[in-house]
Amino acid sequence: MSTYVTAHVARPTRRDAYYDWLQMLTGLGLVLFMWSHMVLVSSVIVGPGVMNAIADFFESTYMAQVGGPLIFLAFLVHFVLAARKIPFRFEGQRLMADHALMLKHRDTWLWLVQVVSAMIILILGAIHMWVVLNDLPITAQKSAARVQSGFWLVFYAVLLPMVELHVSVGFYRIGVKWGFIRSDNRAMGKKFEYGLFALFMTIGVITLIRFATLATVLAE
């Protein structure tokens, strides 16, 4: 005998539309931050001196000291707004999983990917920001020592794909939700999603490898 779980869906209001806009804007702001962060961190590929110079600029202009807490605040606001649509009770989670299995729809699974990746990013991202902001100034040598400790290499090996997956899927879903990606250009939107993920994953992996070998380079 089959058991079906039902849920009451509330009618969207004008306030929900404002929340959706704020969620999208904070999400885009965080994406721009992540890209800027990637420019800073991946500059170590060119040389540790380049990364240190960029980090020193952020330090001297107090962008790191002021911007860090603001980014963390935007991070929390974005999560709270997104959490409005995430079922935290077992019945809701079961209903969500049942619908995903029944529909076999790619975009439904992408939403689940964003939910899972968001939970992981919330925990790991908060830890990363806390550790970095309490160990200023940022330098290539400090970052390399942290990665080479072993634990942090595994930590970033998990955080990196979660962030890039969340960002690339988020861009695609924003495009679908707000009408930029339609039936006639959805294939192109999917290619952009895949390309975005592949590009930043490649940069991130090369950066981690660079940090893992940086001490040897500096010693030469």
Would residue 106 count as lying in a domain? yes
CA neighbor of 165 nearest in space, from 118, 216, 131: 118
pLDDT at 170: 78
Would residue 6 count as lying in a domain? no
| Dihedral sign for Cα atoms in the order 56, 202, 214, 152 | positive
Q: Which residue has the tokens 């390309």?
A: 195
The kind and range of the H/E element at 178 are none
Would residue 92 count as lying in a domain? yes
Would residue 5 count as lying in a domain? no
Q: How far apart are CA 43 and CA 50, in angstroms?
A: 6
CA neighbor of 51 nearest in space, from 62, 43, 60: 43
Residue ranges making up the domain that contains 38 = 14-219
Say what the pTM is: 0.71
Would residue 8 count as lying in a domain? no
Structure tokens belonging to residue 3: 């058991």
Binning the chain into helix, strand and coil, the percentages to the nearest 5 are 80, 0, 20
Would residue 9 count as lying in a domain? no
Looking at residue 97, which CATH number applies to its domain? 1.20.1300.10
- What one-character-per-residue DSSP string does 23-79 give? HHHHHHHHHHHHHHHHHHHHGGGT-HHHHHHHHHHHHHTTHHHHHHHHHHHHHHHHH
pLDDT in tens, the chain (220 residues): 445 445 555 566 677 677 777 877 887 888 888 888 888 888 888 888 888 888 888 777 766 666 667 777 887 887 777 776 665 555 655 656 555 556 565 666 677 777 788 888 888 888 888 888 777 777 888 888 888 887 888 899 899 989 888 888 877 777 777 677 777 777 777 788 788 888 888 998 999 889 888 764 444 4
Q: How far apart are CA 129 and CA 138, in angstroms?
A: 12
pLDDT at 70: 79
Q: How many domains does the chain have?
A: 1
Q: Which residues are annotated as a binding site?
A: 37, 78, 128, 166
* Peptide bond before residue 12 is cis, with ω within 30 degrees of 0: no
Structure tokens belonging to residue 78: 């974005």
Would residue 30 count as lying in a domain? yes
pLDDT at 9: 54
Q: Which residues are annotated as a binding site for heme b?
A: 37, 78, 128, 166
Would residue 50 count as lying in a domain? yes
Q: How far apart are CA 168 and CA 1, in angstroms?
A: 41
